[in-house]
Amino acid sequence: MPSFKNTSLAGALGALGLAASILPAHADTGDYGAFGGRPGMTAVVADFVDYVTHDPRISVYFTNANLAVLRASLVNQFCMLEGGPCKFDENMKTIHQNMQITQAAFNALAEDLQKSMNKHDVPLTAQNDLLAKLAPMSHDIVTK
């Protein structure tokens, strides 16, 4: 697996993860509506999956992925995280345990997500909210 390098995004995601970890458990910071509800989430995820599968830094991780299942899972995950009516209960550690994902690959994925959210004019506050909720998951996803 190639070595990836992107420390500035890693720091930003780390800071966002810290912000998410200090929010009260009852705080409703979801921005489901800012994404345009389920149709907006679906559009963001469709482009996001297209970006990651064509990103030379990380496309290898998606070679054998069932992209329809991946898209559906991500829509449900993002929807739930942003306060929508979706359910997502998959174990991130189990899903990613044998993939040898590096921090740089995780950061590249986050960049591709930002690119997709920007394309769909998701407000920056909503983008930051979702990224802050995803960043702490790196502990379960990054295994190399």
CA torsion sign, 102 to 115 to 29 to 79? Answer: negative
pLDDT in tens, 114-141: 999 999 999 999 999 999 998 888 777 8
Enclosing domain of residue 77: 31-141
Looking at residue 54, its pLDDT comes to: 96
Whether 112 maps to a domain, the answer reads yes
- Tally of domains within the chain: 1
CATH of the domain at 118: 1.10.490.10
CA torsion sign, 104 to 108 to 109 to 114? Answer: positive
Looking at residue 91, its pLDDT comes to: 67
Mean pLDDT by 10-residue block, N- to C-terminus, for the chain (144 residues)? 37 41 42 93 97 95 91 94 88 71 88 96 94 83 79
